[in-house]
Amino acid sequence: MARKARADTMPFLEHLGELRTRIIRSAIAILAGLAIALNFTDRIMKFVRRPFDVAAPGQKLVFLTPTEAFWVYMKVALIAGLILAMPVILYQIWAFISPGLHTHEKRYAVPFVLIGSTFFLFGAAFALFVVIPFAMRFLVSFPGPDLAPMISIGSYVDFVLKFTLAFGAVFELPVVITILARLGVVTPKMLSKNRKYAILVNFILAAVLTPTPDIFNQTLMAGPLCLLYELGIISARIFGRRPERVEKRVEQPSET
């Protein structure tokens, strides 16, 4: 309780100093991940190009400026470094918010980091192995045989990375819901009551983020989002903050 009282009375500038420290440590972790990823950029690029190679066999990606290919490789290495540094980043986020939590709530730090990292990787893998291959086949074959694709490596990699990061982020939904439930911001009853609105928002979000207008690719994103929302409700029921129970005093009839 003393630590929580300290967090409540912590000056604003001290909060900013703590935030700066967490950001610097996260940046150092990303740089370390970048240094590791640079050694495997060629292998990563072959993996990233695979959906295009399958969708447009015999075609090659092109670069339109002398520096485009170089910066694309650096961008891929940076994103790979970000993924490698994700456990450290999630821990820094938890360390920043943990002073405002009770002592018994802080024991969830390690599960938060591990589960959050796992869900991010699941989302990224789902995008790379399911969504992007379907989207590429649709987009490349849509114009018909009269047009041949000539896609720059920069635009293609941006396409892949945006969806990989987007799906990795949205797969964190159960973790976010659980944290909000622990903080008392949301309750399982509230989440269940607003389920229909959440489904609507999920499909709107999928329509905005997916690259193709067909309902199939939109469902590939909206479907997992709805499942993750339900998983978040279950997690909120298990790990959410328990409401304080009010003990009712039962008056005993007086003896006369």
Q: Measured in whole angstroms, how far is the alpha carbon of residue 194 from the centre of its chain?
A: 22
Measure the CA–CA gap between 100 and 7, rounded to whole angstroms.
6
Predicted structure pTM score: 0.69
Has residue 8 been placed in a domain? yes
Residue 32 is predicted with a pLDDT of 93
Closest by CA position to 182, among listed 218, 232, 131: 232
Per the CB < 8 A criterion, the answer to whether 79 and 161 are in contact is yes
Has residue 125 been placed in a domain? yes
Has residue 209 been placed in a domain? no
Has residue 154 been placed in a domain? yes
Per the CB < 8 A criterion, the answer to whether 210 and 149 are in contact is no
Residue 14 is predicted with a pLDDT of 75
pLDDT of 133-170, one tens digit each?
888 888 888 777 777 788 899 999 988 888 888 888 88
* Token pair belonging to 205: 């979000």
Number of folded domains that form the chain: 1
Has residue 38 been placed in a domain? yes
Q: What share of the chain is helix, strand, coil (3-state, %, to 5)?
A: 75, 0, 25
Has residue 180 been placed in a domain? no
Domain hosting 48: range is 2-171
Residue type, position 215, single letter: I
Measure the CA–CA gap between 84 and 207, rounded to whole angstroms.
29
Helices 68-84 + 41-55 axis angle, to 10? 110
Evaluate if residue 1 carries a pLDDT over 50: no
φ, ψ of residue 152 in degrees (nearest 5): -75, 150
Per the CB < 8 A criterion, the answer to whether 251 and 190 are in contact is no
Has residue 133 been placed in a domain? yes
pLDDT of 7-20, one tens digit each?
445 576 777 787 88
2 — pLDDT class (breaks 50, 70, 90):
very low
Residue 7 is predicted with a pLDDT of 47
- Which of 111-120 are b and which e, b meaning 16 or more Cβ less than 10 Å from the residue's Cβ? ebbebbbebb
Largest Cα–Cα separation, the chain:
101
pLDDT of 200-249, one tens digit each?
888 888 777 666 666 776 777 788 888 888 888 888 887 766 655 434 44
Evaluate if residue 52 carries a pLDDT over 80: yes
**H-only helix segments in 105-239:** 109-126, 132-141, 153-170, 173-182, 188-193, 195-209, 215-239
Evaluate if residue 116 carries a pLDDT over 70: yes
Q: What is the chain's mean pLDDT, rounded?
A: 79
> What's the burial of 157, exposed, middle or buried (CB within 10 Å: 0-12/13-18/19+)?
buried
